[in-house]
Chains A and B, each alone.
Chain A
Amino acid sequence: GAGVSQSPSNKVTEKGKDVELRCDPISGHTALYWYRQRLGQGLEFLIYFQGNSAPDKSGLPSDRFSAERTGESVSTLTIQRTQQEDSAVYLCASSLVAIQETQYFGPGTRLLVL
């Protein structure tokens, strides 16, 4: 079946602009996650959704970052007033439920802020 998909695959933007990153989880997965991966680094947890609600937003780096999920499906991660330090790969994952379940990752969106 189809895996997690993300769009765009690459995004180049200018400092100060807003960007939206999209994630389509595996059909039927109730939990959805966002991570950030800087070059050569591990993954940093940003936020996770159970259904359409976000029980844990503790990883969002600043109030410039926000995310929403609608219809227990698609999720959008928005970064406002982008900064050069926001440059990274943004990875989305989904799982059947949130507890001790395999997280399946998408290919990521590579964001470059000039």
Chain B
Amino acid sequence: GENVEQHPSTLSVQEGDSAVIKCTYSDSASNYFPWYKQELGKGPQLIIDIRSNVGEKKDQRIAVTLNKTAKHFSLHITETQPEDSAVYFCAASPTAGKLIFGQGTTLQVKP
């Protein structure tokens, strides 16, 4: 079955710097790749997603890139702010309705 690996597990950056989180997946049938942000005690919230027919998508300070040949995708956050501090999860969808999540990255943005 699908397996998603996420790195790093923790990431600490200074406010204003960029943060990059990387994920790899194993099932070439996966065609949908969302990223979620989870704050303490809350459910995950979608921040951006990308489908397999595009290589890059951007939304203000957040961007995602997808390399289907290499089976990896990355989240880029620019001009980080303290409120970006949270746990971030990548996911891949190998079949309809199923998301396989990475183990999460705890991002700390220091003021």
Q: Which chain A residues have a beta carbon within 8 Å of chain B's beta carbons?
A: 4, 31, 33, 35, 40-45, 48, 50, 55-56, 58-59, 91, 93, 98-100, 102-108
Contact = CB atoms under 8 A, between A and B. Distances in A.
Contacts of A31: 97
Contact of A43 (B44, B51, B95): B44
A22 to B, nearest CB: 15
Contacts, number: 65
Contact of A56 (B49, B51, B91, B97): B97
B101 A100 contact: no
Contacts of A91: 43-44
Nearest to A106: B43
**Contact-residue size bin, chain B (C-beta under 8 Å from the other chain):** 20 to 34
B contact face: mostly helix, strand, loop, or mixed: strand
B22 to A, nearest CB: 15
B99 A103 contact: yes
Interface of B: 6, 31-32, 34, 36, 41-46, 49, 51, 89, 91, 93, 95-104
Contacts of B98: 45, 48, 56, 58-59
A105 B43 contact: yes
B102 A42 contact: yes
A109 to B, nearest CB: 11
A100 B91 CA distance: 12
13 contacts: A33-B99, A45-B99, A45-B100, A50-B96, A56-B95, A59-B98, A91-B43, A93-B43, A99-B96, A100-B93, A102-B34, A105-B36, A108-B43
